Each structure stands twice: as C-alpha cells, then as structure tokens.
Amino acid sequence: MRESHAILVAGGSGSRFHAATPKQFQTVLGKPLVVHALERLQHSGSIARVILVLPRDGFDEAKRAIAPYLGEAFPLEWAPGGNSRQDSMIEGLSRIEPFEGLVAVHDAARPAVPPSLVARVVEAAAVDGGAIAALPVVETLKEATVDLHVSRTVPRERLYRAQTPQCFRYDVLARAVRKAVEDRFSGTDEASLVERLPAPIRIVPGSEQNLKVTTLEDLERVEYYLRNGED
C-alpha cells in the first residue's frame, strides 16, 4: 500500500469550548487529548509520520507541554497553525514534500478515534484516491425559516455526518488546496475542498466513539470511550 503521512490539526483556540485551556490540551486519563489522538494514529499501523499542527500563539509552550507524554521512535514534526482550521491544515501540508503517497488529516478534538477506523480510511483512499469517515444521519431533519418556523422535512436518505480522518492522495489534496486558495474558498473539511475538483471520495462507516469534543460535558464521554471503546 502507498505510504501515508498524517496531519493532526490541533491549532484552534477552542473558543466554543468555554474554558481557559483549549479543548485539545484538556487532560483525560492523565494525558492531553491531542496526545491521545496522536497515539491512536500511531496504533493504527497505517501512518508513517505525523505533522502536529499547534496554535501559533504559544507554540513553543505547547510543544514543551506535550513533549513529556510522547513516546519514542514515532516520526513527528511540529508546525504552527493558521487563523482557521483550513489554514492550519495547509500549514501542515506545506511540511510534506510532494510524493506518491497518501495524506490523512485528523482533528485533535477527536481523541478517541478507533485505530482500526484510521486504517480503514487509509485503505479506502489507497483504492479510490480519497476517503472519509462518516456516519449516516438517523434523526429527522427539519429546515427552518429565519424566524424559526418549520419549513419542511429534509429527506435524510444518503445524508451522512462527516468525521475525520479524511485521507487523500497527496496530489489530489494539493490540487484541491491550490484551487481553494486561488478561489478564496473556505471549506469546513478537506472533502469540501476535494469535491470542488471534482475527485472521487469514498465514505467509510465511521464510529460514534469518534466524537468531536465541543463542550466540557463531552470529556466524560471521551473518557469512557478511551477506557472501554474499540481499538
């Protein structure tokens, strides 16, 4: 299979988290969330190297805080983040020389991702050129008017909730980034950039365990999954 590098995006300020410490540096089971996410990528057996993108403000302090938790012999490079998640991903991508392999992007705010899911996404991207983890929408969806009245029920068939990791051939992701920069387009994830090429993207069944930490209450669920979840 093609060699795979990963960009672990941990460059956000966590403004929606409402805590003094950004969510990616919150400690659960004795380790910051970003370290749990890094270990999950490592344990997948699918990633040869990780570029860890940290906030530009306080970059050196963040490196020093994380360093004691890191194991040995796993190739890791550090990069300062940008003003947005997309900018941070691009900063990470700039640290990867053009090559014939794959680039997986994962959010540090998803620290309980099953390593087996990482492996499945990478394997699918090796076949199709691009793949994302995603879960089907199971709730009834309503479209609302501006004054919060129900406008209509939105059919949920074929609708999915995107997760990370998202993995693409290096050349596909690099072309998508160049086009986004040229068009001044800001996407919510890597797939939204690649869709504009367009290029194939395979959906790999995701996991409820792979939740994104958004509130303080989410930390309890993350702790449960880190203790008891699938590998």
CATH number of the domain that residue 141 is part of? 3.90.550.10
Q: What is the pLDDT of residue 203?
A: 98
> What would the DSSP string read from start to end of 90-116?
HHHHTTS---SSEEEEEETT-TT--HH
Q: What is the pLDDT of residue 1?
A: 66
Q: What is the pLDDT of residue 22?
A: 77
Per-residue pLDDT of the chain (231 residues; tens, 9 = 90+): 679 999 999 976 554 444 557 788 999 999 999 999 999 999 999 999 999 999 999 999 999 989 888 876 568 999 999 999 999 999 999 999 999 999 999 999 999 999 999 999 999 999 999 999 999 999 999 999 999 999 999 999 999 999 999 999 999 999 999 999 999 999 999 999 999 999 999 999 999 999 999 988 999 999 999 999 877
CA dist., res. 213 & res. 224, Å (int): 13
Domain count, the chain: 1
Q: What is the pLDDT of residue 14?
A: 52
Domain around 69? 4-228
* Statement: the pTM of the whole predicted model exceeds 0.75: yes
Q: What is the pLDDT of residue 72?
A: 67
Residues in contact with 198: Cβ distance below 8 Å, sequence separation at least 6, in sequence order: none
Burial letters for 48-87: b for 16+ Cβ neighbours within 10 Å, e otherwise?
Answer: ebbbbbbbbeebeebeebbeeeeeeeeeeebbbbbeebbb
Q: What is the pLDDT of residue 13?
A: 56
Q: Does residue 118 contact residue 165 with C-beta atoms inside 8 Å?
A: yes
Tell me the two tokens of residue 151: 């406008």
Counting every residue written for the chain, the total comes to 231
> What would the DSSP string read from start to end of 192-209?
HHHTTS----EEEE--TT
Q: What is the pLDDT of residue 17?
A: 42
